[in-house]
Amino acid sequence: MTVAAERPALPFTRPNVLELAPLYDVLRREAPVAAVTTPAGDPAWLVTRYAEVRDLLGDPRLGRSHPHPERAARITHGAVQEGPSGDYETEEADHTRMRRLLTPAFSAKRMRQMGDDVAALVDGYVDGLVAAKEASPDGVADLHEGLAVPLPVAVICRLLGVPPEDSDHFRALSDRMATYSGDVDAAGARAEFGRYMAGLAEQKRADPREDVISDLVRAQTEDESYGYDEMIRLSVGLLFAGHETTVNRIGLGALLLLSRRERWEDLSADPDARTDAHVEEIMRLGAPGDLGLLRYAHTDVEVGGVTIGEGDAVILSINAANRDPEAFADAEAFDPDRAERAHVGFGHGGHFCIGASLARTELRTVFRTLATRLPGLRLATGLDDVEVRTQHLTGGVTALPVTW
Ligand code: HEM
């Protein structure tokens, strides 16, 4: 296979939910910085090699803002990624403030406290799976609905101070705003999410609590330069990024482990010793979504033999980077004992995931508990029959029937 003469159009077709499109391998070899077309039909550069992806993630010449948002190439129209606003100068200051505001919420102390909550929640959901299986005529339980969804939702609700009874509502909005098929009004969902969050922010203003939304509302009240819209945008982004990504990684992690028996047996033979390393391989290989991280070049950038022009859109494929054989020996193999561990599943550089330690706590607790309590766990369906979300920025599965 060689790279098509015309620009390949994203998303590329995947053989199944655990594999990437073969075109990524071709591009990595032949055109590591390739001209592609986004799902919105706009031109962009797709970067697929680990070295370039990692360098560019840490390169201050690339950012999220564009001086002329109306002219900027989009990955999708509407969806989560809204029009790139702001300019190069204010982007850095806004980002620094965002990290400063959020850092206390993710302190080691808060994360340790959350760790106990996570353990209790996971035990409760596993009890629920056991009960669901006993009640089911075919002895099957749904790990997606019974554990992968409710855990990250409950955790993010506690952290942000979002009422758990609103979770069906914000789950539905999250799903719609991350969908880029033409028949879903993603931009409408995003606007509705903003209104929902504004309502919640007003409640916190009137009755502040020990939670992140209350912190953000307080910061916005005290600092005139911190815009209300920006605060709402960050709150929506946190609620979305704080659960959606983790839901997917739990589902894909279970699929990775259960689709090859020896992986699951390796983990369940000694969950306390083996879980952390398995979770890092899940982070590297459990690739949700079809796209990557979006940036705009703030100046001309020479990389991988091409010149990315100022203002051009750049898609950094962390999924392709994490499977680069130059960076990971036998890259497609799930190998918890591999020497190379520096995957970019949580990004890299200045935007490195703020929630990484919380996400790791959730994933480790889930897989350690499952492997300890249900060592006979197996998929109750073939890999090809697992229902997958397509045309969706973060991808993932919609159900995961298991038995034991
Ligand atoms: C397995 C779960 C998760 C994955 C795979 C993940 C992945 C990522 C990645 C790849 C980035 C970098 C984005 C970029 O460079 O443009 C990122 C950033 C971020 N993540 Fe996560 N994340 C996860 C869980 C969480 C959780 C639980 C939270 C919050 C509770 C969170 C909050 C954030 C925030 C606020 C950023 C933006 C950081 C910045 O721009 O400086 N993430 N995440």
User: Closest Cα to atom 18, ligand 1: which residue?
Assistant: 353
CA-derived radius of gyration, the chain? 21
pLDDT digits (tens, 9 = 90+) for 78-109: 555 555 566 777 888 889 999 999 998 888 88
- Could you tell which of 346, 348, 365, 367 is best to mutate to test the pocket of ligand 1, judged by most ligand atoms within 8 Å of the CB? 346
Q: What is the pLDDT of residues 176-214, one digit of tens each?
A: 888 877 777 888 888 899 999 999 999 999 999 999 999
Give residue 234 CA to ligand 1 midpoint distance, Å: 12
CB 178 within 8 A of CB 80: yes
Q: How far apart are CA 402 and CA 296, in angstroms?
A: 42
Q: What is the tens place of the pLDDT at every residue in 154-178?
A: 999 999 999 999 999 988 888 888 8
**pLDDT-wise least confident of 224-233, 246-255, 302-311, 329-338:** 224-233
For a mutational test of ligand 1's pocket, the pick from 54, 153, 245, i.e. the residue with the most ligand atoms closer than 8 A to its C-beta, is 245
Distance CA 80, CA 76 (A): 9
- On whether the CB atoms of residues 389 and 400 are closer than 8 A, the answer is no
Q: Supply the pTM of this predicted model.
A: 0.94
Tokens 């919105």 correspond to 40
